[in-house]
Chain A
Amino acid sequence: MKILQITDVPDCFNTSLTKEILFDQPVTKDYIQYLGQHGQLDYYAEFPRPFYKLQKSGYYILQGVEGTDTARVILDRTRVQEALQNLTEMLIGFIVIDHSISC
Chain B
Amino acid sequence: MIYLNNAATSFPKPSSVHQAVIEYLQNPPLQQERMGYSKSSSDRVWKCREKLAKFFGTQHPERIIFTSGSTEALNLAIFGLDLQSGHVITTAIEHNSVIRPLKKLEYSHIIELTIVPCDSAGYVDPADIAQAIRPNTKAIVFNHCSNVTGSCINISSVTEIANAKKIPVLVDVSQSAGTLAIDIEKDHIDLLAFTGHKSLYGLPGIGGLYIAPEIHLKPLKVGGTGIKSELLEQPQDMPIYYESGTLNLPGIVSLAAGIDFVMEQGIEEIHHRKYTLIRLLYEELARMPEVRLIGNLSQEPTLLSFQIQGKEPGDVAYMLDTCFDIAVRSGLHCAPLIHQALGTYPRGSIRASPSYFTTEEEIMTLIHAIQKIVTL
Which A residues contact B (CB, under 8 angstroms)?
11-16, 18, 42, 44, 46-51, 53, 61, 63-65, 68, 72, 74
Contact = CB atoms under 8 A, between A and B. Distances in A.
B314 A18 contact: yes
Contact of B323 (A11, A12, A14, A51): A51
A52 to B, nearest CB: 10
B331 A11 contact: yes
Given A14-B348, A47-B372, A64 B314 contact: no
B322 A65 contact: yes
B313 interface: yes
Contact of A13 (B322, B324, B332): B332
Interface of B: 96, 312-315, 318-319, 322-325, 330-334, 346-348, 372, 376
B283 to A, nearest CB: 24
Given A13-B313, A14-B331, A47-B319, 20 more contacts: A12-B333, A13-B330, A13-B348, A14-B314, A14-B347, A18-B314, A42-B376, A44-B323, A47-B324, A47-B372, A48-B323, A48-B324, A49-B322, A49-B323, A51-B319, A51-B322, A63-B315, A65-B322, A65-B323, A72-B318
Contacts of B324: 47-49
A74 B96 CA distance: 24
A48 B322 CA distance: 9
A14 B332 contact: yes
Nearest to A53: B315
A51 B347 CA distance: 22
17 contacts: A12-B96, A12-B332, A12-B334, A13-B314, A13-B330, A13-B331, A13-B348, A14-B312, A14-B348, A46-B372, A48-B323, A48-B325, A51-B322, A61-B315, A63-B315, A63-B318, A64-B322
Contacts of A47: 319, 323-324, 372
B328 to A, nearest CB: 12
Given A18-B314, A44-B376, A63-B315, A12 B322 contact: no
A53 B332 CA distance: 23
Contacts of B347: 13-14
Contacts of B313: 13
A79 B313 CA distance: 23
A80 B92 CA distance: 33
A49 B321 CA distance: 10
B5 to A, nearest CB: 12
Contacts of A15: 346
A63 B346 CA distance: 21
Contacts of B322: 49, 51, 64-65, 68
A72 B319 CA distance: 11
Contacts of A13: 313-314, 330-333, 347-348
